[in-house]
Structures are given as structure tokens and as C-alpha cells.
Amino acid sequence: MKLKVIITRTQPGADVLATRLQCMGYDSVSMPILEAQATNAPCPVPANAVRGILITSAQALRFFDSTAFLDIPVYAVGDATAKAAQDAGFKNITDSGGDVATLAACVRAMDPQGQWLHIGADEVATGTDNALSGIGVPMTRWAVYRTVPTPLDTDLLQAYLQGDAPFIVTVHSPKGGALLAEAVRVYETTNGSRQMFLLCLSQAVLKSVASVACGNMYVAKTPDENALVDALRNAWPPTLA
């Protein structure tokens, strides 16, 4: 029997990850818990005044017109974001290959000058503002999208929580983790959710689901999809005995 993996990541990343895990032999299904929506906010600084751009989410590239910014150097938080920037037409892209702290250190090492622009969501992960302020240049944030709760497939969730077979749920943000914890409390049985195992993208995500009575929780070594997949592969084989 294949191990079921429920992906709660925001689309379109949920389907991409589900397909990747299916190719590895897992029985993966998308069940996004958040939906990304454009804020339609205008850029707060003129494009010709920007000397560098930080992008902390691949999702952000879907929600602004990049035409006026394509010649400006871009520093991406990880490989997925760097690939999205490349697909959007940016010409000078640096992949910091880590988290926001690594991104900030990468930019700081380049001795940056002038006005910089941070493009991302209206809510940023814990520690992001502190990390980016440490770069030492004027940094303006442009929130091009927000995430809002999306209706869960509660019948599917209830069926798995009340079944006997073990299953994995991937959790990708503290906001999504808090919503998942709330949903699980509604449908879990009197024995808790011992057949459910949570796979978290970061320690901050882990804290958001700390109240969930599940079989176990795992955390990716670094907050990126490759590390999340490695953590899954190391903890659980695709096929159950």
C-alpha cells in the first residue's frame, strides 16, 4: 500500500509537489489550506531608483508586472524563487540557496548601495524584517500578494483522521499550520490523530502545529522544498509494509 501524503501548500506549488512525490512512489494529493491573491498595490518606489531587488517567495513573481525591473539585479531566497525570476525574464539573478538570513548575508557581502526593493507577501515570516534591515541599505517592501484561507476538503480530512492507515500532511507556513491545527481539532477522534504525521517546512511552522496530537512531527533541515522532500524520504518509504 502506498503512503498517502496530503500537500497543504498554496497553489500552484501544491500540484507541483504532489506530482513530484507521485513520481517517487507516494500517493500524494493536493489540499491547499491557503490561497494567494494579488494585492494590486503599486510599486512604492520608482523602478529607475531601485538598485537591487530581493524576492523571498516564488509566489510573488505571479503578482506584479516585471517589465520595468528586468535589468535590475535580483537576489532570490532559494532555487525555486530563482527559477521563477528567470521564467519572468529577469537577466541578473543570484540564488542565495538558503533562508532569509542567508539571503541577507549574501547581499551584504556584495557591499550594496542605494535603494533596494523587497518583493513578497503582505505578511512576512518571523525574523525577515530584522534580517533584511541588517543589510544596511534603504529597503522598501512591496507586498504584491496576500494569502487567505481556502475551503478544505473536510470530507477527505475527516476520512483520513478517522481511518487506521498512517498518512503524512505537509505544512508550509505558520499561518497554514494554525488553520490546519484548528481543522484537525474539529475532526480528530477521541484517540487524537495518531495515524497522522506532520512534515513541517521550518521550526516556525512546527510551533504553529505544536498543539496537534499526532503520531510525530518532522522538520526540514532548511526551509525549502528539496529539504522537505528529503525529510519525507528519510522518515517514510513510499510503500507501507
Average pLDDT per consecutive 10 residues, the chain (241 residues; last block may be shorter): 94 95 96 96 95 93 95 91 94 87 88 93 83 88 96 84 89 94 76 83 92 90 90 89 62
DSSP-based three-state secondary structure for 50: strand
Q: Are residues 140 and 73 in the same domain?
A: yes
Q: Pairing relation of β-strands 139-149 and 4-7? A: unpaired
Q: Does the residue 231 lie in any domain?
A: yes
In 3D, which of 34, 24, 44 has the Cα closest to residue 228? Answer: 24
C-alpha cell at 77: 531566497
Asked if residue 80 is part of any domain, the answer here is yes
DSSP lists the bridge partners of residue 218 as 199
199, 217: one domain:
yes
Q: Are residues 41 and 142 in the same domain?
A: yes
For residue 146, which of 119, 120, 128 has the smallest C-alpha distance? Answer: 120
Check residue 162 and give its pLDDT: 81
Residue 241 within a domain:
no
Verify cis geometry, omega within 30 degrees of 0, for the bond prior to 12: yes
45 and 142 assigned to the same domain: yes
What distance in Å separates the CA atoms of residue 154 and residue 212, rounded to the nearest whole number?
17
pLDDT at 171: 97
**Does one domain contain both 109 and 71?**
yes
pLDDT of residue 100: 86
- Domain shared by 119 and 187, yes or no: no
Q: Would you call 194 helix, strand, or coil by DSSP?
A: strand
User: What is the percentage of the chain residues whose pLDDT exceeds 70?
Assistant: 98
Q: Which residues of 95-126 are buried (b: 16+ CB within 10 A; e: fewer)?
A: bbebbbbebbebbeeeebeeebbbbbbeebbe
pTM: 0.88
For residue 19, is it within any domain?
yes
Quote the domain boundaries for residue 172: 4-33+150-235
Check whether residue 129 and residue 203 sit in a common domain.
Answer: no
The domain boundary residue, chosen from 129, 146, 163: 146
Half-sphere exposure of 223 (CA within 13 A, CB side): 21
Asked, for residue 113, whether it belongs to a domain, the answer is: yes
CATH number for the domain spanning 87: value is 3.40.50.10090
CA torsion through residues 88, 13, 175, 206, sign: negative
Q: How far is CA 123 from the centre of its chain?
A: 12
In a domain, 240, yes or no: no
Residues 138 and 125 in one domain: yes
Per-residue model confidence as pLDDT tens digits over 183-198: 888 776 555 578 899 9
Instruction: Count how many domains the chain has.
Output: 2
**In a shared domain, residues 165 and 181:** yes
